[in-house]
Each structure stands twice: as C-alpha cells, then as structure tokens.
C-alpha cells in the first residue's frame, strides 16, 4: 500500500473524488450511511472506524448500549468520551454488533481506536485482545487494524493486518492548545514501537498532525515516515480536513 487517508468529516462529491485517489481510506460510517458512497469508491479499500474502548453515546445501526453509565470507568475531557469496562458482556456484545453493522454496510475492514487504553488500565488488556480475536474468527478475510495499542501487539498481532502509528513526529497537544513536534524521548519511544510492530510482520501506517499542508510540522513528519519506509497521512487534529495525496512532492 502506497497511500491512505484518515478522514472523519462528511463526504460530498468533492471529498469522494479525493478519496478515490488513495489506496485505502479510514472513514466514519455516518458519512456514508444511507447512500452509495462505498460502492462508488470501488477501487479503494474502505475501512470503518470503531472505538473499541471508549464511548460517545452513539450507536451503529440497531446496536444499542443500554445503561452504559454502569460500565463506564472514567471520562476523557479532551475527546469527550467515556472509557468503558471492556470486560463486560454488554460492551462485548455492543462492539461485535457494531462491527457486524459496518461490514453489512460494505466496509472492507475496521480500524479499532483507543486500544491503548490497556496501557493505562492493564486490567482491560485481556478483554480488548479477546474482542479482536473474536472478530478475526468471525471475519477471517476482512482487514483489521489498530490505532496504536503497541502494548497489545504481542497478544493480537496475528489477528491484525496493520497498525496506525498516530503522532509520528508531530501531535496536537491539548495542554497548550497547539500542534508541536514530539520531544526526543517521545519520538525515541514511538520509533522503537514502530520497529517492533514491523518485526512482528505488521504493515505500519503513519498518521501525523499539522496546522497546514506542507508546513514545517507536515514536512518533518513526512521525512520521518520516508526514513522508516512507511506510508504517511497528515491532517488537522480533528481529521476533518481531507488533504490530497502527494501534495508535498515536487
């Protein structure tokens, strides 16, 4: 795979034409619900977004999570999401049902977000890995990937096709309300994790953030990805800006 995009905005004709230029796109189900966008993107792999450990109160199709407050562990004020107890049967059923809905819609795969919750809540590690394993058994031919979650890869790498290395070189720092480069220690740790993922045989995709296309932060992240030999996509921190591929190449 040479190009991919991560875009969580709505999809009109303009966005559709840009998305067609990528080998793979990670998009939200609500952007294509009730339409024929997925069919028109027939030459591109379509990956649906699914948060595996946090909850924003929304549902997928007929999948419902009742009494969700009873299994919420904590609140994430930056993203306005609740960390959920992934060990519960209610959460497991909700995730499995949601994945079923995404595949019924016509997605080719799923990106599992926030699996790195297990790095903070070690007690959730086995249950998160178990859900990924179960979905691989259900869908042996679908594309499955995680956003980060490097600590889990020892348990789940054989069930995955790719890992998204978010914040490769640059990030949005909520504490300062702005974009910045990673510190040397932050970058060193991330590069170590990326190399470990590659050694496990996983396709690594890099995601970075910048204020503008081709600005200093953008070019910094692109150089890091080129040095690692991995595809990269850069965008604004909310992933609401769709940037065309190759735009910084001369």
Percent of the chain with pLDDT over 70: 98
Of 1-5, 35-39, 245-249, the one with minimum mean pLDDT is 245-249
Average pLDDT over residues 159-167: 98
Residue 246: the pLDDT is 65
Q: How far apart are CA 165 and CA 168, in angstroms?
A: 6
Q: In the Cβ-directed half-sphere of 43, how many Cα atoms lie within 13 Å?
A: 8
Are 118 and 147 in contact by the 8 Å Cβ rule? The answer is: no
Residue 187: the pLDDT is 97
Average pLDDT over residues 12-26: 96
Average pLDDT over residues 123-141: 98
Residue 128 pLDDT more than 70?
A: yes
Residue with tokens 């979650």: 149
Residue 71: the pLDDT is 97
Residue 33 or 127, more confident: 127
Q: How does residue 135 score in pLDDT terms, banded at 50, 70 and 90?
A: very high
- Report CA-CA distances (Å) from 150 to 31, 109, 118: 29, 19, 10
Q: How does residue 249 score in pLDDT terms, banded at 50, 70 and 90?
A: low
Q: How far apart are CA 242 and CA 161, in angstroms?
A: 24
Per residue in 70-115, pLDDT tens?
Answer: 999 999 998 899 999 999 999 999 999 999 999 999 999 999 999 9
- Report CA-CA distances (Å) from 170 to 29, 45, 84: 27, 26, 28
Q: Enumerate domains of the chain plus CATH numbers.
A: 4-235 (3.20.20.70)
Q: Where does residue 247 fall: left (phi above 0), alpha (psi -120 to 50 degrees), or beta otherwise? A: alpha
C-beta atoms surrounding 22 within 10 Å: 24
Q: How does residue 35 score in pLDDT terms, banded at 50, 70 and 90?
A: confident
Cβ-based neighbours of 26, under 8 Å, separated by 6 or more: 4, 5, 6, 7, 47, 48, 49, 111, 164
Q: How far apart are CA 244 and CA 124, in angstroms?
A: 37
Average pLDDT over residues 212-228: 95
Average pLDDT over residues 128-142: 98
What mean pLDDT is reported for the chain? 95
Q: What is the pTM of this model?
A: 0.95
- The answer to whether the Cα torsion of 129, 131, 136, 142 is positive or negative is negative
Residue 210 or 250, more confident: 210
Q: Please name the residue ranges forming H helices in the chain.
A: 13-19, 37-40, 89-105, 125-138, 153-156, 184-199, 216-228
Cβ-based neighbours of 42, under 8 Å, separated by 6 or more: none
Residue 58: the pLDDT is 86
Residue 229 or 245, more confident: 229
The tokens of 142 are what?
A: 């679908």
């Amino acid at each position: 795979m040479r190009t991919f995009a991560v875009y969580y905005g709505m999809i009109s004709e303009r966005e559709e034409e840009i998305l067609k230029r990528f080998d793979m796109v990670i998009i939200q189900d609500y952007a294509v619900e009730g339409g024929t966008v997925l069919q028109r993107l027939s030459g591109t792999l379509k990956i649906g977004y699914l948060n595996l450990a946090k909850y924003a109160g929304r549902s997928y199709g007929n999948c419902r999570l009742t009494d969700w407050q009873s299994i919420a562990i904590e609140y994430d004020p930056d993203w306005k999401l609740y960390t959920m107890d992934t060990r519960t049967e209610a959460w497991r059923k909700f995730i499995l049902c949601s994945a079923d809905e995404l595949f019924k819609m016509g997605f080719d795969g799923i990106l599992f977000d926030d699996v790195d919750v297990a790095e903070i809540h070690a007690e959730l590690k086995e249950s998160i890995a178990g859900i990924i394993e179960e979905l691989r058994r259900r869908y042996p031919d679908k594309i499955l990937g995680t956003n980060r979650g490097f600590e889990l890869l020892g348990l789940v790498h054989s069930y995955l096709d790719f890992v998204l290395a978010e914040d490769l070189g640059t990030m949005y720092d909520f504490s300062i309300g702005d974009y910045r480069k990673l510190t040397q220690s932050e970058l060193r740790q991330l590069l170590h994790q990326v190399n470990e993922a590659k050694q496990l045989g996983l396709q690594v995709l890099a995601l970075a953030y910048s204020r503008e296309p081709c600005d200093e932060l953008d070019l910094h992240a692109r150089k890091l990805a080129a040095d690692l030999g991995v595809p990269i996509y850069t965008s604004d921190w909310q992933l609401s800006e769709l940037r065309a591929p190759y735009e910084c190449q001369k």
